[in-house]
Amino acid sequence: MNLQTEDEKKLIQQHLDDLLQNCPRCQKEEDLKLVMKAFNLANEAHKGVKRKSGEPYIIHPIEVAKIVASEIGLGAKAIASALMHDVVEDTDYTVDDIERLFGPKIASIVDGLTKISGVFDANSSLQAENFRKMLLTLTDDIRVILIKLADRLHNMRTLDSLALHKQLKIAGETIYLYAPLAHRLGLYNIKSELEDLSLKYRYPKVYEEIKELITDSEKRRMQHINRFSLPIIQKLEENNIDFEINGRPKSIYSIWKKIQTKNVAFEDIYDLLAIRIVFNPYPHIPEKTQCWHIYSLITDIYKPKPDRIRDWVSTPKANGYEALHATVMGPNGQWVEVQIRSRRMDEIAERGFAAHWKYKDVDTTTQENELDKWIKRVREMLENPESNALEFLDEFKLNLFSSEIVVFTPKGETKTLPKGATALDFAYEIHSEIGNKAIGAKVNHKLVPLSYKLNSGDQVEVITASTQKPVIESLAQVVTAKAKSAIKSALKAETKNRIEKGRQAVESALTALGIQPSSRVFKKILPAYDVLSKDELYSKVGSGIIVLTDLKKILKKNTPNKWIRYWGLQFNKTNLRKKDKRHIDLEDEDDNQAKFDFRKPYLLTESTDTQSASYLVAKCCNPIPGDEVIGYLTEEENVIIHKATCAEAIRIMSQYGNRIVTAKWTTHKILSFLARIEIKGMDRIGILSELIKVISDELQVNIRKLSIESHDGIFESWIDLYVHNISDLNNLIMNVMKIKGIDNVNRIEKFDD
């Protein structure tokens, strides 16, 4: 093993000194000894090992420890655990060694941070298993998650040194799980940086364009903020309020999201201008009262926008966030967002869950209880023995909601639910059995169906019936993981009962014919009833779908099993072949051993021969040449092409990142690709014929399907047409927009051809 050079030793010492200087909670002698002991072990264990960037590996755990110390605010044990977080995974040290040297608590944290290894279910995902294992420690020690978030943040900060396909994998996983998790735990700064960095690697051009726009407008923005803030500063000082005021820059990712969701230009995002007021509260006066007092002083100067008041001091967010947000009209005719927080609220907003511990003895508030409730829900999901890792991952994602509503029980108790939750979600939030027996609800004393979407402030009463049972359609009526998990469990239990009932019926029918159940017997029975397995037969018999009156007649026949039904399709038995189950692991250093070379972009070439197409286009986003795309390599080694912005692609990256390939279009002029556009405008005589003339005659684009609706002088049209690439489509959209009366033209990505 190579020894460290003098230059490397100096570099390591610089990073260590920086850590110790930015570690407010490890200044006691015993704390410093613990941190140095952990550093010495990690430094020795990783000696001679380099990162992809070429720097000594130990720099990474030191930087993770610094994030844990200075940006999250944890103490010596967490810092020691962060320094050793890769020791068990990457070196000869074991968890037992860590326990012997540092005690059971630090050993438990390090174990939670160690990736799982071994062989898993073929339908599972290594990433999902890793994430699930990490969350198993959530209920024991939240520091595991906080350190993992710090680890992910430093990995994202140093992602440049990895290959493009690995950057996509890690960035996709980050935006899908880690950024929402940081948000859920109240770590707003970390959440924003994770989102920005994920955007940087997923859409580098977009990231740089928005960054440049922010930089170009920075001087003008600060001039506006200074002019806006001056009267407020004078007013607050006149009222003897001890405060700090600063301009709050909006993150690149949040600007991109607003541009995407609201379909507005950069200049039209009105809360690009924002200030934050953090005050030191007077003792014996509630902080909430002081927030509203400051709000009243500001609105004496500037007029508020009534629909943009966000009162999170009366009802904090489920992750503990407290603040009063208002939007007021500034002196330049621009809307400015104002955030008002106490010092305590600000620290909780910046450091999230870690800051709650500091104030736990001082202020036991309801928002901390909300975090406890969330952890309890995660524990319930983890303890479900029947859920696999991928199912768990999707359910956990549902729990990372960023927008909440607060509703009331008939007795006036509050329940926090994600925005979009239904009356059935509320029923399951009360108790699983109430959800299972629910047949309807009363919202604000009015009868509504279980699919009714709730709003903040609703009072909800659930109506139940003892004979009611969950049905598969119930899954489409809920959004919370708790409800989905309870419905799935109930359906599985019902299926088991049905299978057992059917098994007894089949065996009784065979016994009555004097026949013993055997594989030979079932080879005749299964194809006759068009089922694939004994369990499917039992289930259909148990539910009454299959009646065994003709069983004797079936058993007398001697028909050969020429055809096999496979996932709803018919295949000749001689043409079936086993799937290639080989697993291509991108984490292996020797990528050349993989049958598919992930290091090179996958070229999307043209072929008029559909039998030999080199890729498949995903129906969830319908990419066309010119779109930024990624590829997903299936187990059958087909490449499915998704738009890089596709939500399904992001989900796949988070779960099967090791099967993501970078993809690149070649010149496409032979093949035409199906695209759909939505057109809205003022209805007038002749507009449809003019529209078709522009598309078909002038632009010579083939229309496959057209539908149009008109009401109250407004028309909406959806047109499916064939284009060669994104340039053709953009050119078409620009020409259609020139037609008199056309107000808006948009590309629709998700559609069935």
Tell me the per-residue pLDDT of 131-167, one tens digit each, with 9 for 90 and over.
666 566 555 677 888 898 999 999 999 999 888 888 8
Please compute the mean of the pLDDT values over residues 569-587 and round it to a whole number: 31
Is the model more confident about 23 or about 99? 99
Residue 169 in contact with residue 598, Cβ under 8 Å? no
pLDDT of residue 129 exceeding 70, the answer is: no
pLDDT of residue 290 exceeding 90, the answer is: yes
Active site includes 89? yes
Hey, which of 171-180, 269-278, 381-390 has the most confident mean pLDDT? 171-180
pLDDT of residue 108 exceeding 50, the answer is: yes
Q: What is the structure's pLDDT at 607?
A: 47
Q: What is the structure's pLDDT at 27?
A: 81
pLDDT of residue 583 exceeding 60, the answer is: no
Burial 12-40 (b: 16+ CB within 10 A, else e): beebbeebbeebebbeeeebeebbeebbe
CA angle 140, 144, 150 (to 5 degrees): 160
Q: Quick one: tokens of 721?
A: 């047409």
Q: Which of 129-143, 461-475, 496-510 has the lowest mean pLDDT?
A: 129-143
Q: Residue 504: beta bridge partners?
A: none
Q: What is the structure's pLDDT at 297?
A: 96
The span from the CA of 397 to the CA of 178, in Å, is 10
pLDDT of residue 609 exceeding 80, the answer is: no
- Which among 392, 429, 418 has a CA at the least distance from the CA of 319? 418
Would you tell me the crossing angle of helices 76-83 and 143-157 to the nearest 10 degrees?
50
Q: Which of 137-146, 235-244, 317-326, 364-373 has the lowest mean pLDDT?
A: 364-373
pLDDT of residue 572 exceeding 80, the answer is: no
Q: What is the structure's pLDDT at 123?
A: 43
pLDDT of residue 122 exceeding 50, the answer is: no
**pLDDT range class, residue 354, cuts 50, 70, 90:** low
- Give residue-wise pLDDT tens across range 180-235: 888 877 788 899 999 999 999 998 998 998 898 888 887 888 888 889 999 999 99
pLDDT of residue 578 exceeding 60, the answer is: no
**pLDDT range class, residue 279, cuts 50, 70, 90:** very high
Q: Quick one: tokens of 455?
A: 């709003």
Structural domains present in the chain: 6-204 (1.10.3210.10), 213-363 (3.30.460.10), 403-479 (3.10.20.30), 490-565 (no CATH), 591-665 (no CATH), 673-748 (3.30.70.260)
Return mean pLDDT, the chain.
79
Residue 663 in contact with residue 598, Cβ under 8 Å? no
Q: Please state, in angstroms and as integers, the Cα–Cα distance from residue 551 to each residue in 69, 507, 523, 560, 562, following that order.
A: 72, 11, 13, 17, 20
The span from the CA of 26 to the CA of 22, in Å, is 9
The full length of the chain comes to: 753
Q: Any idea which residue has 């090179």 for tokens?
A: 600
Q: Choosing from 89, 218, 363, 530, which is the catalytic residue? A: 89
Q: What is the structure's pLDDT at 301?
A: 95
| Phi, psi of 414, deg, nearest 5 | -95, 145
Q: Choosing from 18, 31, 55, 90, which is the catalytic residue? A: 90
The span from the CA of 344 to the CA of 25, in Å, is 18
Task: Count other C-beta atoms under 10 Å from residue 220's C-beta.
Answer: 10
CA angle 190, 192, 198 (to 5 degrees): 100
pLDDT of residue 362 exceeding 50, the answer is: no
The span from the CA of 343 to the CA of 361, in Å, is 17
The span from the CA of 178 to the CA of 149, in Å, is 7
Please compute the mean of the pLDDT values over residues 315-331 and round it to a whole number: 85
Amino acid at 324: L
Q: What is the structure's pLDDT at 615?
A: 77
pLDDT of residue 75 exceeding 70, the answer is: yes
pLDDT of residue 80 exceeding 50, the answer is: yes
Q: What is the structure's pLDDT at 267?
A: 67
Please compute the mean of the pLDDT values over residues 718-733 and round it to a whole number: 87
Q: What is the structure's pLDDT at 99?
A: 93
Q: What is the structure's pLDDT at 399?
A: 56
CA 433 and chain centroid, separation: 29
pLDDT of residue 274 exceeding 80, the answer is: yes
Q: Any idea which residue has 């980050």 for tokens?
A: 174
**pLDDT range class, residue 571, cuts 50, 70, 90:** very low
Q: Which of 231-240, 381-390, 509-518 has the lowest mean pLDDT?
A: 381-390
All residues at 6 or more sequence positions from 238 whose CB lies less than 8 Å from its CB, including other chains: none
| Phi, psi of 323, deg, nearest 5 | -175, 160
Q: What is the structure's pLDDT at 373?
A: 64
pLDDT of residue 365 exceeding 50, the answer is: no
Task: Count other C-beta atoms under 10 Å from residue 316's C-beta.
Answer: 22
All residues at 6 or more sequence positions from 316 whose CB lies less than 8 Å from its CB, including other chains: 322, 365, 366, 367, 370
Strand pairing class (563-566; 569-572): antiparallel
The DSSP symbol for 396 reads H
For the chain, what percentages of helix, strand and coil (3-state, to nearest 5) are there?
Answer: 50, 15, 35
Q: Any idea which residue has 């004979």 for tokens?
A: 467
- Give residue-wise pLDDT tens across range 405-429: 788 888 888 788 888 899 999 999 8
Q: What is the structure's pLDDT at 371?
A: 62
Active site includes 90? yes
The span from the CA of 739 to the CA of 717, in Å, is 14
| Phi, psi of 116, deg, nearest 5 | -75, 150
Is the model more confident about 708 or about 569? 708
Q: Which is it for the CA torsion 45, 47, 49, 53, positive or negative?
A: positive
Q: What is the structure's pLDDT at 349?
A: 81
Q: Which of 223-227, 479-483, 660-664 has the lowest mean pLDDT?
A: 660-664
The DSSP symbol for 467 reads T
Please compute the mean of the pLDDT values over residues 438-459 and round it to a whole number: 89
Using a CB cutoff of 8 Å and minimum separation of 24, what contacts does 231-234 make? 231/301, 232/275, 232/277, 232/297, 232/298, 232/301
**pLDDT range class, residue 384, cuts 50, 70, 90:** low
- Give residue-wise pLDDT tens across range 515-555: 888 888 888 888 888 777 788 888 888 878 888 888 888 88
pLDDT of residue 2 exceeding 80, the answer is: no
Hey, which of 286-300, 441-455, 739-753 has the most confident mean pLDDT? 286-300
Is the model more confident about 412 or about 447? 447
pLDDT of residue 582 exceeding 60, the answer is: no
